[in-house]
Amino acid sequence: MKDSTLCIHAGYKPKNGEGGQMPIIQSTTFRYDTTQDIADLFDLKSSGYFYSRLGNPTCGFVEERLAKLEGGVGAMLTSSGQAASFCTVLTIAKAGDHILCSSSVYGGTFNLFAVTFKRMGIEVEFFDQKDSNDKIEAKIRDNTKAIFGETIANPALTVFDIERFAQIAHRHNIPLVIDNTFATPVLCKPISFGADIVIHSTTKYLDGHAVQVGGAIIDSGNFDWAKSGKFPEFTEPDDSYHGLIYSETFGKAAFIVKARVQIMRDIGICQSPQAAFYINLGLQTLPLRIRQHSENAMKVASYLSTHPKVEKVIYPGLKDDECYELGKKYLKDGLCSGVMSVILKGGRSAGASFIDHVKLASPEVHVADIKTCLLHPATATHRQLNDEQLLACGITPGLVRLSVGLEDLDDILEDLKQALDAV
């Protein structure tokens, strides 16, 4: 089935006489008849829900829908997008390991990778995604466990050459992890270009209405952990499950099962059923919304790019954007989401002044919302980064991140025009 159908039907099929809408199973626990039934669940010999930290039916419906949309074998919801990248890395890497990550990533990801993982003994090295294969491959070591990038980077708005990096990763027997938050599975399906694991901040377009923080991890099932030879935690016995071997017992689903029964069990950054229900509501209209967000944004980007107070608009839908060709390759119908970066002439103070003068658009630490909103990264999300790190993330001091909403286009344009007049 196609995306618009999957978004409404995949994962939940009501039986005769059941509610048409996905039920919220607001329960921490699940009842079984015998101690043997429960023992089999704990030994991972049978599948079923037993405690909502490890899984819940409402979350399960949404997980199956996301797995179908991304073309994976399984998915797991997490409490946030940050939790999704945290769980993903901990499932495949441990102290002493090394990860390669594009420098064009979300500020929160940058902090998690560069600061927190470092304290935990996992070293993350950043690369410029424009670098040649040779230069990138020279950074891959024996202990390198993954390559990480964002389909459309937040807020650099670069488009990741998924196919090229999948080939690099696979030449070295390591998985490619893609954060597909901005593109959503409607605009890009990273697995179809060779990505092994896809993660989301569902807080953005998947929810789409700014009501629920959440995350998700989807396993393509395509990475062969045993054949790679680099992942002993997948191929050697796990003492916390009586010596179970993930790659043997769970085959193609080894990664997503390990993420759940080992990392989620121990860390507990799970999604609640109520939250999953909100994500479900958002998902149902995702194809309609992301198309309209993208169409509005394309017109806003064209308008702003010719405005005399604007130095540059970074949006992969613009013909002179450095990622225009990559956008055409990876993003469906050339739709590039609602998010763009606007660099004002006059640097930091002009950026701040623009935000202070908008009336309809909301200054918010959020993007991918039904409402038009905007933010000055240098003084907000990225304020922990020094100038050098900012520039490495593709952010200049006058850059404003603009997320175009679903209001009438004329009203959005008029608001931006009056705010620019006042700068």
- Positions touching ligand PLP (CB under 6 A) are 80-82, 106, 108-109, 150, 154, 179, 181-182, 201, 203-204, 213, 215
Q: Of the two residues 271 and 305, which places its CB atom closer to ligand PLP in the complex? A: 271
Q: Element (H or E) spanning 413, and its range? A: helix 409-422
CB of residue 189 vs ligand PLP: minimum separation in angstroms?
A: 16
CA angle 173, 202, 213 (to 5 degrees): 125
Q: Which amino acid, one-letter code, is at 238?
A: D
Cα angle, residue 271 at apex, residues 377 and 66 outer, rounded to 5°: 85
In whole angstroms, how close is the CB of 106 to ligand PLP at the nearest point?
Answer: 4
- Of 66, 69, 57, 5, residue with least CA distance to 30: 57
- Contact present, 172 and 140 (Cβ < 8 Å): yes
Between β-strands 310-314 and 339-344, what pairing exists: parallel, antiparallel or unpaired? antiparallel
Going by the DSSP 8-state scheme, the letter that residue 180 receives in this structure is: -
Strand 74-78 and strand 123-127: pairing?
Answer: unpaired
Q: Toward ligand PLP, which CB reaches closer, 392 or 409?
A: 392
Distance of alpha carbon 143 from alpha carbon 158, whole angstroms:
28
- Closer residue to ligand PLP, CB minimum distance, 76 or 257: 76
Nearer to ligand PLP, 258 or 401 (CB): 401
Cβ 201 to ligand PLP shortest distance, Å: 3
| Contact yes or no for 186/287 (Cβ under 8 A) | yes
* Contact assessment for residue 268 and residue 76, using Cβ atoms and an 8 Å cutoff: no
**CA–CA separation, 40 vs 208, rounded Å?**
39
The least distance separating ligand PLP from the CB of residue 352, rounded to whole angstroms, comes to 22
Taking the complex as a whole, how short is the minimal distance between the CB of residue 83 and ligand PLP, in angstroms? 7
| Residue 257 token pair | 């099962």
Q: CA-to-CA distance for 223 and 140, rounded, in angstroms?
A: 18
Distance from C-alpha of 147 to C-alpha of 133, rounded to nearest angstrom: 13
Query: What element of type H or E holds 282?
Result: helix 273-284
The nearer residue to ligand PLP, 213 or 281, going by C-beta atoms, is 213
Q: Closest distance between ligand PLP and the C-beta of residue 399, in Å? A: 15
Q: Which of 92, 71, 66 is nearest to 216 (CA)?
A: 66
The answer to whether 403 touches 411, Cβ cutoff 8 Å, is no
Closest CB to ligand PLP: residue number:
81
| Structure tokens that stand for 367 in this block | 């993007």
Which of 41/290 has CB closer to ligand PLP?
290
- In the bound complex, what is the minimum distance in angstroms from residue 38's beta carbon to ligand PLP? 33
Of 112 and 313, which CB lies nearer to ligand PLP in the complex structure? 112
Q: How far is the CB of 275 from ligand PLP (least distance, A)?
A: 11
Please identify, using beta-carbon distances, which residue of 109 and 272 lies nearer to ligand PLP.
109
Q: How far is the CB of 127 from ligand PLP (least distance, A)?
A: 17
Shorter beta-carbon distance to ligand PLP: residue 112 or 343 = 112
How far from the centroid of its chain's Cα atoms is residue 394's Cα?
Answer: 19
